[in-house]
Amino acid sequence: MKNKRVVVTGIGVVSSVGVGKDAYWGSLISGKSGISEIESFDTSRYDNHRGGEVKDFNPSDFIQKEKIQRLGRGSQFAIAASRMALEDSRINFSNVDKNMIGVIIGTTMADAQRIEEMDKIWVELSEKDIDSKLISQYPGNVLASNVGFALNLRGPNISIPTACSAGNYSIGYSYDLIKRGRVDYMLVGGSDPFSRIAFTGFNRLFAVAPEKCQPFDKNRKGMMVGEGAGVLLLESLDSALDRRANIYAEILGYALSCDAHHMTAPSTSSVVSVIKRAVKNANIEPKDVDYISAHGTGTPANDKAECGAVKEVFGEMYKKIPISSIKSMLGHTMGAASALETIACCFAIKHGIVPPTINYETLDPECDIDCVPNQARKKNVGIALNNSLAFGGNDACLVVGKI
């Protein structure tokens, strides 16, 4: 069995705090909030009216104008982020077998807005008035498929729908494929558009904060629904060195679990298990971890469970490890969340800065971690952990390290 080392050599981002890797990272370390009044649909019948919408995205910057209308917003995000990641990687396509470049995109809602369009037509007119082209645009697999079509990539093409942990699932599986020599390159990450379906669902779960997301704060009131995409280009270390690529970080290992506990509430013991196994699979010790990118949704139950797990795994060291949640700035981008957080880990390693948890005001004794409150911090990061805890009990932990 081959055992190649796997590295990140390209990054693409669409987010509510900026489009493109530089705008994204600059906003994170400056503590910029991407939360604003929702504009994509009327929220007057809801109690909450704010979210992490992407305001400055122009799909024609990345996609031919005649093709834009045939693509849902989630696919547009995924194609844009993938194109940026490929350009950032500086791969010479004349020397690459496109059958050996795969695509895996994680998601929660896929192109959910297409479902909303069809439902509206069906209710207001009839099923006969639904354009048949819409029907092919909503299945969950379309995100990865559309990336493959747009970029003419013929390798493995998969969409992973494990909700908020889907980005980490995608990166982990792609890591396995490259490590074993089954592909040469993988475009991986996650994408989710803002949708009425997701916004309504989380509001009905009473999980949405009215104004801002405050992870780990004693007075936190919930999450903010967001949107965006994060895509990374993975390849073997040998390949990256051979073509003198810019290497952001190395994927050291990961672990997955289903806690079989509850559809929406996290299980502390499962989070403990997945972190411990990720650390073991990466051949490191808990003492080696310099930074943790928390799932950190800002809901009372999630933050308490995650902090409890961190305390159990890291013991007395837990207060010495910076543990921040960028969802305080982006909102919860669903299937894109852990991919965008992995990108933040890569930048933290590359630049020696950890992003803050903004909106932090009051200490919660049950969440007495070092959450890097309100301001970014200079920190030499050799190894970073990225936690993701999804509905359905789908937990994932990814370990990223410096080359």
Among the listed residues 219, 372, 358, the one whose alpha carbon sits nearest the alpha carbon of residue 300: 219
Q: Does the active-site annotation cover 295?
A: yes
- Amino acid, single-letter form, for residue 280: K
Q: Does the active-site annotation cover 332?
A: yes
Q: Is the separation of the CB atoms in 368 and 319 below 8 Å?
A: yes
Residues 6+ apart with CB under 8 A from 297: 207, 213, 215, 222, 223, 303, 325, 327, 332
Q: Among 213, 307, 332, 367, which one carries the catalytic annotation?
A: 332
Length of the chain, in residues: 403
Q: Is the separation of the CB atoms in 98 and 180 below 8 Å?
A: no
Q: Among 49, 213, 261, 295, which one carries the catalytic annotation?
A: 295
Q: What is the 3-state secondary structure (H, E, C) of the chain?
A: CCCCCEEEEEEEEEECCEECHHHHHHHHHHCCCCCEECCCCCCCCCCCCEEECCCCCCHHHCCCHHHHCCCCHHHHHHHHHHHHHHHHHCCCHHHCCHHHEEEEEECCCCCHHHHHHHHHHHHHCCHHHCCHHHHCCCCCCHHHHHHHHHHCCCCCEEEECCHHHHHHHHHHHHHHHHHCCCCCEEEEEEEECCCHHHHHHHHHCCCECCCCCCCCECCCCCECEECEEEEEEEEEHHHHHHCCCCCCEEEEEEEEEECCCCCCCCCHHHHHHHHHHHHHHCCCCHHHCCEEECCCCCCHHHHHHHHHHHHHHHHHHHHHCEEECCHHHHCECHHHHHHHHHHHHHHHHHHCEECCECCCCCECHHHCCECCECCCEECCCCEEEEEEEEHHHEEEEEEEECC
Among the listed residues 59, 79, 94, 399, the one whose alpha carbon sits nearest the alpha carbon of residue 250: 399
Where in the sequence numbering do the catalytic residues fall? 164, 295, 332
